[in-house]
Amino acid sequence: MQEIQPAGTEKARTVSSMFGRIASQYDRGNRVLSLGRDQAWRRIAVRLLNPAPAERVLDIGAGTGDLSLALAKTAGSVVALDFSLPMLEIGAAKVFGARIPVSCVAGDALRLPFPNESFDAVATAFTVRNLAGMERGFAEIFRVLRPGGRLAILEFTRPGSRLVSAVYKPYLSLVLPRIGGRLTGDGPAYRYLAASINSFTTPKEMGALLTGAGFDGVRWRLLNWGTVAVHLGTRPGAPARQRGAGIHA
């Protein structure tokens, strides 16, 4: 795998080096901070995306490979992309021995190294919040999906309920950075995580961005008392092989 230079901004460089620093402790941090729920959320996202055995699926921001592993249970092939080599190296070791081969690719979500319309489905977990330009990321996903191809985004979201917010906000600002810092030795990384969740979109705002990027049938399912969401959408148009059905020269 080759070192890659993330596109553009300071944010991309900060995010890449931050995940590089916490890579070896990342999975443990997830299990503890989500109270053991994060793998179930990934399984739900995969179930909603519903990849078929003949389908080629791209996992963007695959990191340590947990979503790729869940996708590999039903998809035909999986490509795991990330710009942090330390994260991807752990992922590559974990997906070795999955039901199907998972290809690990070092690359930038904002400049995907794939031709137009090359995937049947795209999945991404806890990544879009970290992108230096979310709209550009959605445009890239749209470009690499075939017409009729599906997208599933698993991400934290701002809860709608005041009661949940009243408990969740102090958890984010006080508890999460302290526990994350203790577990990984990297307090700033978990302060960034808390701040990025606190200032992130509501499910409705994210839905509007996806519709604006051209996706059809945008909808979402809330998990964990509305603090986590799976957004789904489809690139409009029938698959190329069906588009000409019934038309004869």
Ligand X SMILES: C[S@@+](CC[C@H](N)C(=O)[O-])C[C@H]1O[C@@H](n2cnc3c(N)ncnc32)[C@H](O)[C@@H]1O
DSSP 222: E
**Which C-beta is closer to ligand X: that of 9 or that of 211?**
9
**Which C-beta is closer to ligand X: that of 63 or that of 203?**
63
Q: How far is the CB of 236 from ligand X (least distance, A)?
A: 25
Contact 159, 226 (CB under 8 A): yes
DSSP 86: H
Q: How far is the CB of 248 from ligand X (least distance, A)?
A: 44
**Amino acid letter at 26?**
Y
Q: How far is the CB of 136 from ligand X (least distance, A)?
A: 9
**Which C-beta is closer to ligand X: that of 7 or that of 164?**
7
**Which C-beta is closer to ligand X: that of 23 or that of 218?**
23
Q: How far is the CB of 45 from ligand X (least distance, A)?
A: 9
Binding residues for ligand X (CB under 6 A): 6, 12, 15-16, 19, 61-64, 66-67, 82-84, 87, 108-110, 125-127, 130-131
**Which C-beta is closer to ligand X: that of 131 or that of 210?**
131
Contact 157, 226 (CB under 8 A): yes
DSSP assignment of 89-153: HHHHHHHTTSSS-EEEEE-BTTB-SS-TT-EEEEEEES-GGG-S-HHHHHHHHHHHEEEEEEEEE
Contact 234, 150 (CB under 8 A): yes
Q: How far is the CB of 31 from ligand X (least distance, A)?
A: 11
Contact 126, 154 (CB under 8 A): yes
